[in-house]
């Protein structure tokens, strides 16, 4: 007989004592505070989630001074390793509780004179099946095909659930924009505007109240916010040579107040690991649904235990796709292209994705950015792979001074037109 209380303690102690951050990342990915059977353990798990991935016993004690003795006692139980087994045991306990609830509902149904034995049995088996199928990602074909039909009808009616890119032409290629459960890759050489375009998409998501988690491995949160502020306000970052007039200052202040209300969280970690990224998203998911997740950029993440960089990047790419499916969110991963492009002076191809072919394989869509050959203010955006729509090219205008993208209006080199 498994002692589930010991499994709970083992998960908490490993999360506080494992310096690699792996234990807390796995625990936060699969468990919630409701999976723990005592209020004390629930509070400790919440504190771990708040301070993850660099959580330790001291952080939790400071967060919960009244439970300092209990935290110390639980932390002392750490025996190293086996976090996966203990998490599985807690999940088993959770499933058992779901079955117990189903039994209680069945007992009430049996006493209902208006329900037949067949109806009671059917309701019981449905509740039990749901408790397990949701955990294992199982969906009956009747439900899956109904969802597919609803999606087809929504696309036909122009009402598919997606986050608009802000560009009609690009939305058309992507069947409405960024969709739940999908991994999108934006790839380019440095200086083309990958981060600026990601900031633009973050702005679009925020305008419609979609929560965005932006993991920046290259810029600080302040730098990301500064780019967003310039992008939205149209006020360029001041220099020592230039000063802002009172109109620009007022616009900057008004835009700052607007942005403060937007549901955006920046994570700046220049030495981010895959484990810390997973823990960050798990923590964000505990606070509510995620609309958009941005990784800037993919090759700066690291994963432990792989013999080659190719294997490492493959695992990171696969994890991004898995997280998109698990959290039913859109994951936007920025990626570098090979340096050979600059020498060969040709347009990019999928084969130029740096360090791993798995990026192309895992992505639902790949957007390749490159300079327009006739105009330095134009950027070609090619949808080179698209699992849910068409491949094609659209051209965007890029104001480098403001770090702002807009639809290309004149020249008609593409099918993109501005909204409004």
Phi, psi angles (nearest 5°) of residue 164: -65, 145
Q: Are residues 93 and 233 in the same domain?
A: no
pLDDT of 282 reads: 77
Domain containing residue 8: CATH number: 1.10.860.10
Helices (H), 52-193: 57-63, 68-75, 83-111, 117-136, 141-156, 168-173
- Rounded to the nearest integer, the mean pLDDT of the chain is 82
Interval 396-415 mean pLDDT: 73
pLDDT of 157 reads: 61
* Tens of pLDDT, residues 75-115: 888 766 678 888 888 888 888 888 888 888 888 888 888 87
Rounded distance between C-alpha atoms, residue 32 and residue 11, angstroms: 12
Name the token pair of 308: 């080659």
Position 306 in a domain: yes
Q: Scanning the structure block, which residue is given the tokens 């059977």?
A: 37
Q: Are residues 201 and 345 in the same domain?
A: yes
Q: What 8-state DSSP symbol labels residue 289?
A: -
Position 188 in a domain: yes
Rounded distance between C-alpha atoms, residue 149 and residue 154, angstroms: 9
Q: Are residues 131 and 183 in the same domain?
A: no
Rounded distance between C-alpha atoms, residue 281 and residue 363, angstroms: 19
* Tens of pLDDT, residues 128-146: 655 554 444 445 566 566 6
Q: Report residue 417 CA to chain centroid gap.
A: 29
| Three-class DSSP labels, 330-381 | EEEEEEEECCHHHHHCCCCCHHHECCCCHHHHHCCEEEEEEECCCCCCEEEE
> Greatest CA separation found in the chain?
84
pLDDT of 368 reads: 94
Q: Report residue 123 CA to chain centroid gap.
A: 35
Position 276 in a domain: yes
In terms of C-beta density within 10 A (0-12 exposed, 13-18 middle, 19 or more buried), how is residue 128 classed? Answer: middle
Lowest mean pLDDT among 219-223, 305-309, 384-388: 305-309
Q: Are residues 127 and 197 in the same domain?
A: no
Which residues are CB-neighbours of 317 under 8 A, at least 6 positions away?
Answer: 183, 298, 333, 356, 358, 359, 361, 362, 363
Q: Are residues 15 and 78 in the same domain?
A: yes
Position 145 in a domain: no
Q: Are residues 20 and 132 in the same domain?
A: yes
User: Using 50, 70 and 90 to split pLDDT, how confident is the model at 202?
Assistant: very high
* Tens of pLDDT, residues 203-219: 999 888 899 999 988 88
Single out the residue in 121, 138, 155 at which a domain terminates.
138
137: left (phi over 0), alpha (psi -120 to 50) or beta: left
DSSP H or E segment with residue 296 = strand 292-296
The dihedral sign for the CA sequence 412, 416, 363, 275: positive
CB of 393 closer than 8 Å to CB of 414: yes
Count other C-beta atoms under 10 Å from residue 89's C-beta.
Answer: 19
Position 269 in a domain: yes
Lowest mean pLDDT among 30-44, 142-156, 190-204: 142-156
Name the token pair of 236: 């360029």
Position 395 in a domain: yes
- DSSP labels, 402-420: TTEEEE--SS--SS-----
Domain containing residue 399: CATH number: 3.40.50.300
Most confident of 24-28, 152-156, 270-274, 415-419: 24-28
Question: 208 lies in which domain range?
Answer: 168-407
Say whether pLDDT at 408 is over 50.
yes
Say whether pLDDT at 120 is over 90.
no
pLDDT of 303 reads: 80
DSSP H or E segment with residue 47 = helix 39-51
CB of 72 closer than 8 Å to CB of 98: no
Q: Are residues 254 and 121 in the same domain?
A: no
Rounded distance between C-alpha atoms, residue 5 and residue 74, angstroms: 11
Number of domains in the chain: 2
**Which of 369, 420, 366 minimizes the C-alpha distance to 409?**
420
Q: Are residues 130 and 15 in the same domain?
A: yes
Say whether pLDDT at 355 is over 60.
yes
Please calculate the CA angle 210-254-170 and round it to the nearest 5 degrees.
Answer: 40
SS3 54: coil
Rounded distance between C-alpha atoms, residue 268 and residue 264, angstroms: 13
Position 175 in a domain: yes
Q: Are residues 230 and 82 in the same domain?
A: no
Q: Report residue 195 CA to chain centroid gap.
A: 16
CB of 275 closer than 8 Å to CB of 54: no
Position 153 in a domain: no
Rounded distance between C-alpha atoms, residue 392 and residue 189, angstroms: 20
Rounded distance between C-alpha atoms, residue 207 and residue 323, angstroms: 24
Q: Are residues 239 and 112 in the same domain?
A: no
Q: Are residues 111 and 204 in the same domain?
A: no
Q: Are residues 174 and 271 in the same domain?
A: yes
């Amino acid at each position: 007989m498994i002692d589930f209380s010991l499994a709970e303690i083992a998960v908490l102690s490993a999360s506080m004592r494992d310096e690699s951050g792996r234990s807390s990342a796995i625990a936060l990915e699969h468990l919630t505070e409701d999976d723990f059977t005592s209020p004390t353990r629930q509070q400790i798990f919440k504190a771990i989630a708040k301070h993850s991935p660099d959580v330790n016993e001291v952080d939790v004690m400071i967060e919960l001074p009244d439970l300092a003795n209990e935290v110390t006692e639980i932390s002392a139980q750490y025996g190293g390793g086996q976090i996966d087994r203990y998490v599985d045991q807690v999940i088993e306990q959770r499933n058992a509780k779901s079955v117990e609830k189903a039994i209680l509902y069945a007992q009430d149904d049996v006493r209902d004179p208006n329900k037949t034995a067949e109806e009671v049995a059917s309701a019981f088996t449905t509740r039990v099946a749901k408790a397990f199928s949701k955990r294992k990602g199982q969906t009956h074909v009747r439900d899956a095909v109904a969802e597919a039909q609803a999606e087809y009808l929504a696309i036909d009616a122009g009402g598919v659930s997606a986050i608009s890119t802000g560009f009609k032409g690009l939305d058309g290629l992507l069947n409405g924009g960024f969709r739940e459960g999908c991994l999108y890759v934006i790839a380019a050489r440095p200086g083309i505007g990958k981060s600026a375009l990601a900031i633009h998409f973050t702005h679009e998501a925020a305008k419609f109240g979609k929560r965005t988690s932006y993991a920046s491995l290259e810029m600080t949160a302040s730098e990301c916010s500064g780019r967003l502020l310039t992008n939205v306000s149209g006020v360029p970052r001041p220099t020592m040579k230039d000063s802002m007039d009172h109109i620009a200052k007022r616009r900057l202040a008004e835009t700052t107040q607007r942005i403060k209300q937007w549901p955006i969280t920046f994570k700046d970690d220049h030495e981010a690991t895959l484990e810390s990224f997973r823990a960050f998203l798990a923590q964000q998911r505990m606070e509510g649904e995620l609309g958009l997740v941005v990784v800037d950029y993919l090759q700066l993440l690291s994963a432990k235990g792989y013999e080659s960089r190719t294997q490492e990047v493959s695992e990171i790419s696969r994890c991004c796709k898995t997280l998109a499916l698990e959290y039913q969110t859109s994951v936007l991963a920025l990626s570098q292209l090979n340096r050979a492009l600059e020498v060969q002076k040709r347009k990019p191809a999928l084969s130029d994705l740096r360090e791993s072919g798995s990026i192309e394989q895992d992505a639902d869509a790949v957007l390749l950015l490159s300079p327009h050959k006739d105009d330095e203010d134009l950027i070609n955006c090619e949808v080179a792979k698209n699992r849910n729509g068409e491949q094609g090219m659209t051209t965007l205008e890029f104001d480098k001074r403001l770090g702002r993208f807009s639809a290309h209006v004149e020249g008609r080199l593409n099918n993109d037109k501005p909204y409004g």
